[in-house]
Amino acid sequence: MKNKVQFQKGYSLVEFMRGYGAEEQCQNALFKWRWPHGYQCPECGGKSYCTLKVRPVFQCNRCHHQHTLKSGTIFASTKLPLTLWFLAIHLLTQAKTGLSALALHRQLGVSYNTAWNIKHKLMQVMKERDDSKRLSGIVQLDDVYWGGECRGGKRGRGSPNKTPFVAAVSVDNQGHPIAMNMNVVNGFRRRDIARWAKRHLSPDSHVFSDGLACFSAVKQAHCQHTRIVTGGGPASVTLESFTWVNTAIGNVKRSINGAYHAINAKHVPRYLAEFCYRFNRRFKLEDMLPRFGYIAARTPPMPMRLLTLAEDYG
């Protein structure tokens, strides 16, 4: 029997071009996503406006504040047409295994630097959206590291070339996965896990983890905690209590290694968020673009100086 999620219809490139192939179509869509109940001035809240003849600017009839359709959104401060932005969104959200900036550069016909900026801004939208949603119910939790030891450097958990992150998957009572969260942390200490749990877990969640002592800190977020000592080794990854978190960890590592030649450690949070975002919305692929566009219209601009900074872990 075919998996209904895996073999769902999806949203084809032909359908995308039919709905968003022209700049006017994209502008109308962004207007509706930004103001679903009608125009509202970002400065005073006024509901009537006019457009200037000499340049594409909205002007509020009450306070005369002027702004563009893109200003105040993730699309701000760019001369790229919305058709390119929307095509990038379509490609990134429909690609099951991820799409590198190099591949995006070839698909969009823009420079590599432009493609990199587009990709990281869109991944930032994914990260901010999923960071606003907490996991709840039964949660499988595990510790993970991205990267390996430097030659001649410290080995194991203390290696400076390794990026620690938490992997968590919420499941229903039948053990089916609902949503996942992967966030980089400063380390696996109680204070780091407590900070992560308060931000990403709903109170009264029931967390299952291995024997790592720091995971008991989820109790500080008013969560129940069940500690299962796995003993390590290959057999430990077959335990039913950790089936989906182990599957998620394996899938994200294969996805990132397969799609990207190399990633900078400070950008790991966005790459993890990209994987989680698609997984958490896997049930309706045809809704990916409008759902993303609605959030992108509410995500603040991300200038280059912020785009290249390391994430605030937690």
pLDDT score of 15 = 95
pLDDT score of 72 = 95
The mean per-residue pLDDT over the stretch 147-164 comes to 63
Better pLDDT: 265 or 179: 179
Q: pLDDT digit string (tens) for 35-54? A: 999 999 999 999 999 999 88
Any alpha helices (H) in the chain, and if so which ranges?
13-20, 23-34, 82-94, 101-108, 112-131, 190-200, 243-259, 268-280, 288-296, 304-307
pTM of structure: 0.90
d(CA 265, CA 309): 11
Q: What separation in angstroms does the CA of 37 have from each of 25, 33, 51, 79?
A: 18, 9, 19, 27
Better pLDDT: 158 or 58: 58
pLDDT score of 54 = 87
pLDDT score of 32 = 97
Domain range 138-273, its CATH number among 3.30.465.10, 1.10.10.10, 3.40.800.20, 3.30.420.10: 3.30.420.10
Q: Decide if pLDDT at 313 tops 70.
A: no
Domain spans, the chain: 13-131+288-307, 138-273
Q: pLDDT digit string (tens) for 117-131? A: 999 999 999 999 999
Q: Decide if pLDDT at 297 tops 60.
A: yes
d(CA 187, CA 145): 10
Place 77 in a pLDDT band, splitting at 50, 70 and 90: confident
The mean per-residue pLDDT over the stretch 173-192 comes to 95
